[in-house]
Amino acid sequence: MRALTYHGTHDVRVDTVPDPQIVNPRDAVIEVTATAICGSDLHLYDGVIPGVMRGDILGHEFMGRVVETGRESTLKKGQRVVVPFTISCGKCFHCMKQQYSACDNSNPAEKQDLTEPLYGEALSGLFGYSQLTGGYPGGQAEYVRVPFSDVGPIVIPDGPSDEEVLFLSDILPTGWMAAENCDIEEGDTVAVWGCGPVGLFAVQSALLMGAHQVIAIDHYPNRLDLARKLGAKVIDYRRTHVLEAVREMTGGIGPDAVIDAVGMESHGFQPDNAMDTVKQKIGIGADRGHVLREAIMAVRKGGRVSMPGVYGGFLDKFPTGAFMEKGLQWRTGQTHVQKYTHDLLRRIQEGEIDTTFLISHRLPLEEAPRGYRNFHSNQDEWTKVVLTPGS
């Protein structure tokens, strides 16, 4: 089959690789009909996440048709499914509590050696996102082996197009969970740092959950425009002093909840060099750590901090004092995708949520490297790339 593979920093190629097979009883094999490049794929592209091997197949947002099923799979050949990027067994303590991204059983035991010293415990396996999250081949390919196919994939009935439901795989539930973690009450203001796909879906979700106003912060004109069209007030941080502005836009109180949809994933996974990496990069990377610090300074006393943005290592100059003295709550985590897919599919079917506004470019899988290049270097215009295999 054809698949987008990693060859080094800023070097991804579409190669011919062996087709996947059923390996475990609960597996299914999916023929991919649509897949997307995620903002977090750019960190792999930048070569800042260790544990990505030459030849690894990338991609964790994908959907397609079931072509093969293991004997314990509940899927049927021919069904159209969207596959969550989190691989979850559905049987362990965490899955039973719907903490799917904390699944105990999907990250292969021998792949957990790096994550345990770094985080204390390994998290669930993820598709196409380095050996640290299990080394599972990803979805920017013609076919994907999907483990625990009786738990993850959601069957899509006839009706909605692929583009309308594809983002159930990651960014739509991620934006939704970010807003849910804000515990929005009547009259609340939610401020969102970062108008990438997750930030924009968080804006949309927070408004749906009844926020009085949502303030979106970025500097790309096109992305701010998308936020404005969703109903947000916007701040261009290159033009405006953000801390002063959000205070003045909330009657001097500050936002009730803040969302860091930027993250700082690039700052190292290895325990021994993570601290150093942060220190080395402080001149370049300070803006990114800056978002979380600024959000904590901006939020009102007793407010909520929601952090869907991905972090991998350590952060220095964390405003512990402001956090404690203001009595804040902090909620974060990789998205528990399976918890949200059914409810969000219903909202898409009922016309409550549209996700297609985000898609700026559609390319055949063969042109995926061009998609990476432009999504990386022209973020204002390239807001989301959808790839179609076999075209």
Among 137, 139, 175, 255, binds another protein (CB under 8 A): 137
Single out the segment in contact with another protein by CB under 8 A; choices: 39-47, 110-118, 321-329, 333-341: 110-118
- Shortest distance in whole angstroms from residue 156 CB to another protein: 24
Among 148, 193, 269, 375, binds another protein (CB under 8 A): 148
- The footprint of another protein on this chain (CB under 8 A) covers a number of residues equal to 35
Minimum CB distance to another protein smaller for 98 or for 240: 98
Among 2, 60, 145, 223, binds another protein (CB under 8 A): 145
Is 147 a residue that touches another protein (CB under 8 A)? Answer: yes
Nearest of 97, 94, 125, 98 to residue 109 by alpha carbon: 125
The Cα–Cα gap between 200 and 265 comes to 19
- 223's CB contacts (< 8 A; 6+ apart) are 195, 196, 200, 379, 380, 383
DSSP tag of 262? S
Is 47 a residue that touches another protein (CB under 8 A)? Answer: no
Single out the segment in contact with another protein by CB under 8 A; choices: 131-139, 224-232, 304-312, 338-346: 131-139
Minimum CB distance to another protein smaller for 49 or for 232: 49
- Shortest distance in whole angstroms from residue 71 CB to another protein: 10
Q: Residue with structure tokens 């985080």?
A: 119
Nearest of 102, 347, 300 to residue 201 by alpha carbon: 347
Single out the segment in contact with another protein by CB under 8 A; choices: 24-32, 295-303, 336-344, 378-386: 24-32
Minimum CB distance to another protein smaller for 147 or for 263: 147
**Helix axes 197-208 and 221-230, enclosed angle (nearest 10):** 20
Among 79, 112, 349, 360, binds another protein (CB under 8 A): 112
Is 98 a residue that touches another protein (CB under 8 A)? Answer: no
Is 338 a residue that touches another protein (CB under 8 A)? Answer: no
Among 6, 45, 136, 167, binds another protein (CB under 8 A): 136
Is 20 a residue that touches another protein (CB under 8 A)? Answer: yes
Among 23, 53, 67, 286, binds another protein (CB under 8 A): 23
DSSP per position, 121-178 = S---EEBTS-GGGT-B--SSBSEEEETTTTTS-EEPPSSS-HHHHGGGGTHHHHHHHH
Is 104 a residue that touches another protein (CB under 8 A)? Answer: yes
- Shortest distance in whole angstroms from residue 60 CB to another protein: 13
Is 25 a residue that touches another protein (CB under 8 A)? Answer: yes
Q: Is residue 337 classed as helix, strand or coil in its secondary structure?
A: helix
Nearest of 102, 131, 97 to residue 119 by alpha carbon: 102
Question: Could you tell me if 338 and 88 are in contact, meaning their C-beta atoms sit under 8 angstroms apart?
Answer: yes
Is 84 a residue that touches another protein (CB under 8 A)? Answer: no
Is 125 a residue that touches another protein (CB under 8 A)? Answer: yes
Question: Could you tell me if 188 and 157 are in contact, meaning their C-beta atoms sit under 8 angstroms apart?
Answer: no
Report the number of secondary-structure helices (H) and strands (E) in the chain: 13, 17
86 φ/ψ angles, rounded to the nearest 5 degrees: -85, 130
Is 110 a residue that touches another protein (CB under 8 A)? Answer: yes
Among 116, 276, 325, 343, binds another protein (CB under 8 A): 116
- Shortest distance in whole angstroms from residue 118 CB to another protein: 14
Is 97 a residue that touches another protein (CB under 8 A)? Answer: no
> For the CA atoms of 205, 210, 216, 220, what is the dihedral angle to 10 degrees?
40
- Shortest distance in whole angstroms from residue 145 CB to another protein: 5
The Cα–Cα gap between 19 and 131 comes to 20
**Helix axes 197-208 and 171-180, enclosed angle (nearest 10):** 50
Nearest of 242, 205, 211 to residue 352 by alpha carbon: 205
Single out the segment in contact with another protein by CB under 8 A; choices: 76-84, 91-99, 201-209, 347-355: 91-99
Nearest of 112, 94, 111 to residue 103 by alpha carbon: 94
Is 272 a residue that touches another protein (CB under 8 A)? Answer: no
What residue ranges bind another protein (CB under 8 A)?
18-26, 72, 89-93, 96, 104-113, 116, 125, 134-137, 145, 147-148
